[in-house]
Structure 1
Amino acid sequence: MQARGIAGSLRHRLGRPLTWGAILVFGLIWNAARWGLAPDGLDLDGEALAPFAWGFTLLVLAPLPWQWTGDPRPLASPARGLVQALPFGLLCTWILVALLGAGGLPAPMMGHGRMGGHGPHGGMGRGGPRGGGACGSEGGLPGAGLPGAGLPGAGLPGAGPQGRRTLIAAGAYLSFLVLLGAILARMERAETAEAAARDAADRTRLRALQGQMHPHVFFNAVSGVAELVREDPAGAERALLDMAGLLRQVLDLGERTAHPLAAERQLAERYLALEALRLGRRLQVTWDWDGSLDAQEVPPLVLQPLVENAIKHGIAPERGGGELRIRAGRAGDGLVLEVANTGAPPEAGRPEGVALRNLRERLALLGLDPAAAFALVREGAWTRATLRLPLEIPDHG
Structure 2
Amino acid sequence: MLNQIPSPSVIVDLNIVDKNIQNMSEIAKKAGIKHRPHIKTHKSVYFANKQKQAGAVGITCAKLGEAEVMAEAGFDDILVAFPIIGEEKLERLYQLAQKIKVSTCIDSIEVAQGISEVGLKLGQPIPVYIEVEGGNLRCGRQPGEDTVNFAQQVKRLQGVEIIGILTYAGQIYNEKNIDDIRRVAKEEADNLKNTVELLRESGIFVREISAGSSISSKFASELKGVTEIRAGNYIFHDVSQLSTGMASIDECALRVIATVVSTPSPGRAIIDAGSKTLTTDTAQFRKGYGYIIEYPEIEIYKLNEEHGFLRFDPSIQLSVGQRLTIIPNHACVVANLTDEYIGVRGDQIVEVIPVEARGKNK
TM-score normalised per structure 1: 0.22
Specify which structure has the higher proportion of strand. 2
Q: Which has the higher helix share?
A: 1
Larger RCO, structure (CA 8 Å, separation 6 or more): 2
